[in-house]
Amino acid sequence: MQVCLYLPIFVISGIWFPSTVEGAVAMMIVEPNEDHPGKCYDPETERAYAVGEKWRIGTICVEYSCSTWRENKFRISLTGCGFVKVEPPCTVVEDSGSAFPDCCPKPLCPNQSRGGMIEPR
């Protein structure tokens, strides 16, 4: 029997634009799976991943990674995008087809002096 202990941990890694948080992290501790020794077994994907391996599920902009944990257990870490809120005339753009973190939403604002668009830093 596999028992998973979910330990949500959310970390604000920094602010780079008003009303924008760069990311969030969560982790889940998974028991060893006898069919996949030495690997993280992700019950969501029903697949085993090697320690150090990273993956995404579909077009959701979250990166999963496998690492070892105490007492022969494993940790699946989830790193996701932060929250983006902008005021007009800025908009939020995202590219769900890109690799993490390039798939995360980004603010896009008109460049008043050049007549183009800029990504705030």
pLDDT tens digits along 87-98: 988 999 989 889
Give the global pTM.
0.69
Burial class (CB in 10 A: 0-12, 13-18, 19+), 77: middle
CA pair distance 71, 84, nearest whole angstrom: 38
Residues above pLDDT 90, as percent of the chain: 46
Q: In which band, very low, low, confident or very high, does the pLDDT at 84 lie, cut at 50, 70 and 90?
A: confident
Most confident among 2-6, 13-17, 77-81, 85-89 (mean pLDDT): 77-81
CA pair distance 94, 83, nearest whole angstrom: 12
Parent domain of 36 = 4-118
CA pair distance 25, 18, nearest whole angstrom: 20
Please tell me the total count of domains within the chain. Answer: 1
The answer, yes or no, to whether residue 3 has pLDDT greater than 50, is: no
Residue 103, helix vs strand vs coil: coil
Average model confidence (pLDDT) across the chain: 80
66 or 1, greater pLDDT: 66
Q: In which band, very low, low, confident or very high, does the pLDDT at 31 lie, cut at 50, 70 and 90?
A: very high
